[in-house]
Amino acid sequence: MHPRTLLVLSLLFFLFNSSHPPQVSSENIILDFPSFTLRNPTLLGDAYLQNGLIGLTRDLPVPSSSSGTAIYSYPIPFFDPNSNSTVSFSTRFSFSITSLNPTSFGNGLCFFLSPENRNLGSQGRRLRLVNSSQLTKNKFVAVEFDTRLDSQFNDPNDNHVGLDIESLVSIMTADPKSIDIDLKSGNSITAWIDYKNDHRKLNVFLSYSNLKPEMPLLSVEIDLSHYLKEFMYVGFSASTEGSTELHLIENWRFETSPSGRARNHPHNVSDNSVITPRFQVPNSSSKKHHRGLGLGLGIACPALICLFVVFGWISVRKRRGVSKQSFTTGLVAGSRQFSYRELKIATKGFHSSRIIGHGAFGTVYKAYLVSSATISAVKRSKHSHEGKTEFLAELTIIASLRHKNLVQLQGWCVEKDELLLVYEFMPNGSLDQVLYDQSERGNLLKWVHRYNIAVGLASVLTYLHQECEQQVIHRDIKASNIMLDGKFNARLGDFRLARLMDHGVKSPVSTLTAGTVGYLAPEYLQCGKPAEKTDVFSYGVVVLEVCCGKRPIEREQGTQRMVNLIDFVWGLHSEGKIMEAADVRLKGEFEESEMRKMLLVGLSWANLDSEARPSMRRVFQILNNEAEPVFVPRVKPSLSFSCGLPLRIEDIIVSDGEEV
């Protein structure tokens, strides 16, 4: 067939098939938990799971102060792009509040919505929603079921339901005893909370049975669109202060629906916690509209076809030398190709408010994909020859890798001169953000998470170095390239500088040293030969960062002198004081044996002598107590190179974190 004829037929097929595209709408989302398992909501604080129920506070025979949170692990979209408005929502759950001592009651429980997935509120009277020192810091919308009269929060009595917005002083309250319900009875109580965005009204219903009452106990006329962000987390929290009050959640159902539209039959979310949209089925009126549209297109098609043919042929001729195939040849089957239009909509036109990261590669945007109702991260590469080369390298390498500690590639896009990679979204950001930026705001990374991060990173590097068909050298292991999922598990990302090598083959000398100052192995910095041991060195530096809470290279306070983290820790080790290197912000809240092991592991793998660095498999075994730690000499080893390049930090660094 003649190429021009083929082009015309292709354009005709595209034109007539695109006149009725599948319409994806923001459908209802349902979470439905008749009972709870370990795969259900994330439990924080003192919350626990027992016999299919969630306990929010400790079940103890003696009075204590306790608080706990159960939160759905993934954010829920609360914005409908079709109507450009906040969605409506409703929830139903059964709970009980009881106490061994009839005269000892705590503070009740609440259902809340929050833009944050970690609740850092205080115990006692504050329902774990706000901090005792900063009562207005946390953002939330909550319905409280309060069992304490607290004059500080203008409570009307010790048995009330109230609507709280960013404060525990309720906007409005109601007394359940007016409908013969005692929150402290220990009986199972079912609550319904409905918010209709088009009516700007929130209603709360209560009953001892599963039958929803006709009249609400609490009805508040309020516009929550000012407080409900584009994505919100939903869950429960409770607290006690010197009491034996016990708070149990027995079941839970939560649903959103676009405002002003009748509910369809949405996809349920239960154990697998997957939110799935559905295609909108056109109704009869839309079919008539489409028939009219088809008639109009039938008249206009000849002219449109001519225009498409002319411009299409010109475009093909101009772009023949720069086709998509040059970027996609050899990709592993299964990686999805996104359209530029879909990713542009998902990032609100790559708006600055969606930026979640910057780097030498370009920019990362938070994206909401309507087609799958999921949040993703879109990496937008810089428009340069190097950017295209790194884009292709990252795409071809990461698409073939599968490991639980890797950031998973979801797809790619090469269109309109854009190079875009789509990854799963990591809700806790990068390791360096959590170690430094968030810690300054009081969100300190706990030791148990730090230890697991080191183990997870060792696991994935063992996979890359020794278990893949071809060895993968990452070449840029650093804290900002280690992402953290919802449970603070390490996920290694950014493979733009990675290289594939055959096992047992020595790497060639690179003409350009790639990586980041502070994480670069000395032999690589001097001679430009990437190898397994260069990744091992970078891993050792990251481990020391995690233990010490210090960056690889920092300026000494009050001076311009640069301090190298490896020198700092090895200096303490040589004096027999290695435990003094532990992050002081942890305030000793760690296992001393684990901290010592990790510090020695960091020094072993950050050894200046590459031959003295053990493999990643060895470190993985050591951290899992499957092998004995390696010996670390008290005196830091020194090396000499035949090439006369400087080794002093002051001579090679331009600015903190600069890549070379």
Give the pairing of strands 553-555 and 218-221.
Answer: unpaired
Q: What is the DSSP string of 223-281?
A: -GGGT--SEEEEEEEEEEEEE-EEEEEEEEEEEEE-TTS----PEEE-TT------BPP
**Cα–Cα distance, 174 to 533 (Å, whole number):** 66
- Residue 287 in marked binding region: no
The C-alpha atoms of residue 595 and residue 543 are separated, in whole angstroms, by 10
Query: What DSSP string runs through 396-441?
Result: HHHTT---TTBPPEEEEEEETTEEEEEEE--TT-BHHIIIIIHHHT
Beta bridge partners of 43: 70
In this structure, what are the phi and psi dihedrals at residue 10, rounded to the nearest 5 degrees? Answer: -65, -40
Instruction: Answer yes or no: are the C-beta atoms of 388 and 327 closer than 8 Å.
Output: yes
d(CA 367, CA 378): 7
Asked whether the beta carbons of 636 and 608 are under 8 A apart, the reply is yes
Q: Mark 317-328 as b/e (b = at least 16 C-beta within 10 Å).
A: eeeeeeeeeebe
| Angle, CA of 507, 395 and 323, to the nearest 5° | 115
278 φψ region: left (φ > 0), alpha (ψ -120 to 50), beta (else): beta
Strands 109-114 and 231-243: antiparallel
Between CA 427 and CA 142 the distance in angstroms is 22
For residue 141, how many C-alpha atoms fall within 13 Å in the half-sphere facing its CB? 17
**Contact call for residues 26 and 335 (beta carbons, < 8 A):** no
CA distance to 263, 463, 559, per residue, from 627 (Å): 58, 18, 42
Rounded CA gap, 31 and 40, in Å? 10
How many angstroms separate the CA atoms of 196 and 217, rounded?
Answer: 16
- Is 616:461 a contact under the CB 8 Å cutoff? yes
What does the alpha-carbon distance between residue 647 and residue 639 come to, in Å, rounded to a whole number? Answer: 10
Token representation of residue 484: 């953290």
CA distance 343 to 653: 38
The Cβ-side half-sphere exposure at 175, using a 13 Å CA radius, reads: 8
Active site residues: 476
Cα-to-chain-centroid distance, residue 550: 24
Q: Please report, in range form, the residues annotated as the binding site for ATP.
A: 379
Residues tagged in the binding site annotation = 379
